[in-house]
Amino acid sequence: MAKPKHVPMGLLETPFFSRLNALSRVKSWTGWAGYISPLVLDTLEFEYFAIRNQATLFDISPMHKYRISGPDAPAVVNRLVTRDVSKIRDGRVGYVMWCDEEGMLIDDGTLFRFSTDDFRLCCQEPMLTWLLDSAWGFDVQIVDESDSIAALSLQGPTSWSLLNDAGLGGAAQLKPFDWREVEPDIWVSRTGFTGDLGYEIWVPKAKATALWDRLWAAGAHWGLRAIGYEALNLCRVEAGFIAAGVDFQPVHAAMRLHRGRTPIELGFDKMVHFDKGHFNGRRALLAQRKLGQRYALAKIDIAGFKPADGALLYHRKKKEVGFVTSGVWSPTTKRNIALAEFKTPYGLDIVDDLWAEIYVNQEGKWDKRLVPVTLQDKPFFINDRARVTPPRPF
């Protein structure tokens, strides 16, 4: 008798799990979109410094991936997201955000354009029903590729050299946010979540382990390490990137009222293209532009070295005006950095005399400190190797 098919229970293994499991010294796993994903494989420090000094592999297969294709695909995508997608050319990738009718962010992600009428949307949150609803009335096909496409993020200053050694030198001319099929069934995009030189490599699930082994074989010379989410998280805060569920609450997943934030409130006014015609939430965002934003997400530098994740922020040490959404000690810049949400006008018009309240436990004794906060307008980590094309070998 055939074994009955049933819905898989518990966390699923990604196509790379066998490789990751073999490398995992600490067995520190987390659940990511239903898949097993490493938090740390060896030690956080090794993994972090590998991202900034060598090359690293991170399994991004759990990302949700949707293929949007058909004659109306450009119209559907342009109605979905806030920026003008018609400006994204073939072979290009765009960072996109999409909102509900109230202008609240549903999720952000990357949009890969195969051709005029063929796109792939990658994001953190499950989005199939929303995409199907968005596609209603249009001649377009939506296919959930989340489980059929595997992907690896190869990041770090030696990542280009490693790719070249692995026989994927066809990626040499890729500028940031370019992507190309460098070999049949291997698409490489010059994208990532680290703010550093790096690539994301997309293959059908069946070719996943072969890809891993090929990169791994070329990696020893370039200091390749597999990493978990914790190291990546340090880098993404250094790069100033926001994370869903952390720096903003995807509005469809939020249970409580008023938890949504608009792209404007998250500091992405430039990603909202009011002149491109209607898109979801446009009218609400226009109204907000007129009435003013309620919140402002900002990059901040915090005095001292104690990571301030979750810390409350004050004006003149008295009035509570916000809190830290992501706070880390940045080993590369040697600064105590964070992303923080302010209630406007704080963080927008009022940027002086701001303080973070930090609790420290010194060997069993709790102490509270108020330390000064300075707003930053640029990412904390900036390095031109991330943008030079062709990339420099190391």
Partner 1 sequence: MSDNRYNAIVIGAGHNGLAAAATLAAKGKSVCVLERANQIGGMSKSASLGGATVPEIAHLLYNLSPTVAKELQLSLDTRALPTIALAADGNHVHIQGNKASYADKRAHPDAQAFADLQARLKKFAALLGKLADSPPPSLSGGLLAAGNLKEIGKLAKLGWGLKRLGKKDMREFLRIILSNAYDLILDEMADGPLAGAVAADAVRGAYAGPRSPGTVFSLMYRLGNGGDVRLPMGGMGAVIGAFETVARKRGVDIRTAVQIERLVVAADHVQGVLLTDGTTIHAETVLSSIGGMQTMRYAGVQHFDVEAARRMRNLRNKGTSAKVNLVLSGLPAFTGLTAEQMAGRLLIAPSALAVERAFNPAKYGEISPEPLIEAVIPSLTDKAAAPDGTHVLSAVVSYVPYALAGGWTDAARAKLQETVLETLERYAPGIRGLVSHAQVLSPADIEEMTGAPGGHWHHAEMGVDQILTVRPANLVSRYGFGLGGLYLCGASAHPGGDVMGAAGRNAALQVIADGIPG
Residue ranges that bind partner 1, judged by CB under 8 A: 75, 79-80, 100-101, 130, 133-134, 136-138, 277-278, 280-283
Give the CA distances from residue 389 to residues 91, 313, 384, in Å, rounded to whole numbers and listed in that order. Answer: 16, 41, 10
CB 102 → partner 1: shortest distance, Å? 9
Would strands 354-362 and 365-376 be described as parallel, antiparallel, or unpaired? antiparallel
Rounding to the nearest 10 degrees, give the CA dihedral for residues 17, 21, 23, 28: 110
Would you give the distance in Å from CA 277 to the centre of its chain?
A: 27
Nearer to partner 1, 45 or 101 (CB): 101
Strands (E), the chain: 28-32, 35-40, 55-59, 64-69, 93-99, 105-115, 118-123, 141-144, 149-155, 179-183, 186-189, 198-204, 224-226, 295-302, 312-315, 319-330, 335-343, 354-362, 365-376
CB 63 → partner 1: shortest distance, Å? 22
CB 116 → partner 1: shortest distance, Å? 17
Nearer to partner 1, 205 or 252 (CB): 252
Nearer to partner 1, 24 or 78 (CB): 78
Q: Nearest-5° angle of CA 177, CA 179, CA 183? A: 155
CB 58 → partner 1: shortest distance, Å? 32
Nearer to partner 1, 127 or 296 (CB): 127
Amino acid (1-letter code) at residue 117: D
CB neighbours of residue 5 within 10 Å: 6
CB 8 → partner 1: shortest distance, Å? 30
CB 285 → partner 1: shortest distance, Å? 11
Nearer to partner 1, 214 or 252 (CB): 252
CB neighbours of residue 222 within 10 Å: 23
Nearer to partner 1, 124 or 134 (CB): 134
